[in-house]
Chains A and B, each alone.
Chain A
Amino acid sequence: EVQLVESGGGLVQPGGSLRLSCAASGFTFSNYWIHWVRQAPGKGLVWVSNINYDGGSTTYADSVKGRFTISRDNAKNTLYLQLNSLRAEDTAVYYCARRSGTGPLYGLDVWGQGTTVTVSS
């Protein structure tokens, strides 16, 4: 079964750090770009970051640039998102998602179940 499973969320104080993981199975992980998308409570979807096949290219939303770092370990079939300098507005469910093909014609066809990050004192 093709799936993505996130972990690592939790409660953290403002200014703190967390590392999220996204474990892939059922497909050749190294063949796909992977994205992070978040959703604050009761709000819409917000794109956060993406990474190419080998980790050589990464892109970030302006709201997280310089604070979050996306990376991947293809040998472990795992994606990571390092969250630093966390703010209350980073509170959200974080999803990892696979892009179904190369280029802007393709959408995100496989999603994890999400992991919840709560930033609060």
Chain B
Amino acid sequence: IQLTQSPSFLSASVGDRVTITCRASQGISNYLAWYQQKPGKAPKLLISAASTLQSGVPSRFSGSGSGTEFTLTISSLQPEDFATYYCQHLNSYLPGTFGQGTKVEIK
């Protein structure tokens, strides 16, 4: 299974609504997670099962989708949200996979 994120890069302003798409090469139900990574830091789990927000993650983050198309939405971009975002599919008994990443930068 391959995951393709779009866009690879986006430039946005504080307060903007931002949407990142992740497309799977075949149907994966809702078996998708989203991560945020800042430079020099380990990734942070934001969303699992396509739409379940992890404890402590701000409610401006949301996820949706099923099958082959998924989205991560940030409803109002904050300064601390500028980072790289990755989608991921994990199947316990098959190799896992990440999308190539989407870098969100300040306009």
Contacts and interface: CB of A to CB of B under 8 A. Distances in A.
Contacts of B52: 105
B100 to A, nearest CB: 5
Question: SS class of chain B's interface: helix, strand, loop or mixed?
Answer: strand
Given A47-B98, A61-B95, A106 B48 contact: yes
A45 B89 contact: no
Contacts of B82: none
B92 A104 contact: yes
Among B30, B92, B94, B97, chain A packs the most CB atoms within 10 A around the CB of B92
A103 B59 CA distance: 25
Given A100-B45, A107-B48, A109-B45, A59 B95 contact: yes
A94 to B, nearest CB: 11
A113 B42 contact: yes
A47 B95 CA distance: 8
Interface residues of A, number: 30
Contact of A104 (B54, B84, B91): B91
A105 B49 CA distance: 5
A119 to B, nearest CB: 21
Contacts of B84: 44
B7 interface: no
Contacts of B28: 104
Interface of A: 33, 35, 37, 44-47, 50, 52, 57, 59-62, 95, 97, 99-100, 102-109, 111-114
- A-B residue pairs, 4 tightest by C-beta: A107-B33, A47-B96, A104-B31, A111-B42
